[in-house]
Chains A and B, each alone.
Chain A
Amino acid sequence: MDLVRVRDDVWGREVLAGVSWDLLWLVLTAAFAIIIAHLLLMAVLNRKARPSAAGKKLARHAGVDRAFHWITAIATIVLLVTGVFPIIGINFPWLTPHWIAGLVLTVAVGLHVVRSLFFQDPLAMWIAPSDLKELAGGDVKTAKYSLAQKGMHLGMAVVVLVVIVTGLVLFLAIDTPWWNRTNSIDEATLGWLFLLHGASTLGLVGLTALHIYFGLRPEKLFYTRSMIKGWISEHEHAAHHDAARWSPEETR
């Protein structure tokens, strides 16, 4: 199995063409293996009952952040469907929805970056040394975000930023309503861009699969609810979070 695709350029020189799409199956297989392993583990552990969703509602995600999340999610799904389906042989006119979704994602991520850096606590998502004790296992109560959530965010942040940056450069290489392509990117550079775009796509495929899985896990479902409705219950907070590190306000 190849890791990358190479091709001859216009003058017969071997250049990178992009990531090998064989890796797509590897990534999907790995993601499903992790999911199945996790399912089995959770079945064996047979955790105790989950905290009640009743009681006081504590604010977890502001409306604007939830909107950002779901816009990003939809854009990502559209990007993955339009980007990956043609590769696996499901053909449809994908390019226009792909770049439109890419622009939506770019704007959403851009706003999120600005908001989180300047209007929110940028360290809330940063992995602190104190988070690392979660690695030891047991029922460690976390700050607003668990190490796993921070890890997922960090991973997503890296692949999404790479996919956006490379996507934007590649966007210059197609015709759009605003410009005609110039072919000014040489083929070797183009190959690197496609490699990074493809590799980050693979990362996105894997992370998205895991993200969706964990979002649908019964014991994590309240987080997904919080991403829809904005709150968690006081019991959920007490069960998973350290009030000293994160004490959200009550909300309606």
Chain B
Amino acid sequence: MTSYDVMPATELYQPVNIEDATALAARLGRKGWLLGGGQDTYGWLKDRAKRPDAFIDLTGIDVLKGIRSLPDGGVEIGSMTTITEVAQNPLINEKFTLLSAAAKTVASPQIRNMGTLGGNLCQDTRCWYYRRGLNCYRAGGNICYADSPEGMNREHALFGASRCVAVTPSDTAPALVALEATMLITSASGSRQVAAEDFFVGPATDILNMTALQADEILVSVRIPRKWADATFYHEKVADRNVWDFALVSLCAAFKEDAGQITDARLVAGGVDCVPHRLREVEQAIIGQPRNETTGEAVKVRATSAATTLNYNQFKVPLMQNLVLRALRG
């Protein structure tokens, strides 16, 4: 076993415009590595568990940074905007507090200062077996070490497992799925838009990648439509520690209410599925109901009706139900 924590020599490209970046991405393909704040990257590289030939550092490209309001009343956030900026931005804090609340719980202040929204969305899972650099399914191998008779899988999935049982570690991803954001993606061959919900990919579809980004593509920005602006939001992240920890379970919820009844709702959980997990059954059940404890108690079990527990993660079932209850309690 090699002893880790030493960076290998790796080429570094620092493009200052998006065209150069996409040209590099097209040329390097899977041998290139898009670099934002580096908070997910350097561990992989130092452990030599992933060995790209070259970094494409996106942090020097100005158009990838910043937060702008959109003509429709929504907001566009450049992928290289730091998590701290997302957490502190007045526009987001005014209209989309769900996202700022989620951003404030990312990692630690130091990591939020360095880490970018794009990086937070595209980061790889934290399954400890995978992070050791083991050749599991997600690394292109033939086995899952986590979901085995004695696997240590406290932090793993309740939903959407397919051979791999890893979960999304992102705090901001569930918020963006709840807000029905759209990802703007570009490459040398053109641009496309993908709904946040389709941007994140589970192992059934692609066991090697957690997003729909192709090797030559770059996430340019995230567009949040006006639809959920000023809705009623609820966010909670439960982790072992209050800082610098990944969610055991997190919940992002957005509600629209009229005359004391919920008219529309999006509830999305993190830490329970490889992708941000929509609680569709709950969403449907609460339409037309008042947002209160009684509704919460009545519907909370629907959050976990499709859950499959592993050796050590059954606690996520009551935890998810409780978070749904709290979201509805308000």
Contact = CB atoms under 8 A, between A and B. Distances in A.
A and B, direct touch (CB closer than 8 Å):
yes
B122 to A, nearest CB: 16
Contact of B163 (A18, A95, A190, A194): A95
Contacts of B67: none
A92 B142 contact: no
Contacts of B162: 93, 95
B257 interface: no
A194 B163 CA distance: 15
Interface of B is mostly: loop
Interface stretch (A59-67, A119-127, A180-188, A211-219): A180-188
Given A10-B134, A174-B163, A175-B147, A190 B142 contact: yes
Interface size classification for chain A = 20 to 34
A182 B142 contact: no
Interface string A1-38: 00000011110100001100000000000000000000
B135 interface: yes
B135 A9 contact: yes
B204 A182 contact: no
Contacts of B148: 181-183
B201 A183 contact: no
A104 interface: no
Interface of A is mostly: loop
A58 to B, nearest CB: 49
Interface in B202-238: 204-206
Contacts of B151: 183
A128 B1 CA distance: 56
Contacts of A187: 142-143
A187 B145 CA distance: 11
A181 B147 contact: yes
A183 B161 contact: no
Contacts of A84: none
A84 to B, nearest CB: 15
B71 interface: no
B204 A17 contact: no
Given A10-B134, A174-B163, A194-B142, A91 B205 contact: yes
Contacts of B205: 91-93
Contacts of B190: none
A191 interface: yes
A180 B148 CA distance: 9
A161 interface: no
Contact of A7 (B135, B147, B149, B161): B135
B224 to A, nearest CB: 26
A190 B1 CA distance: 22
Contacts of A194: 142
23 contacts: A7-B135, A7-B140, A9-B135, A10-B145, A91-B205, A93-B162, A93-B204, A94-B204, A95-B162, A95-B163, A173-B143, A175-B147, A175-B161, A181-B147, A182-B148, A182-B149, A183-B144, A183-B145, A183-B151, A187-B142, A190-B143, A191-B142, A194-B142
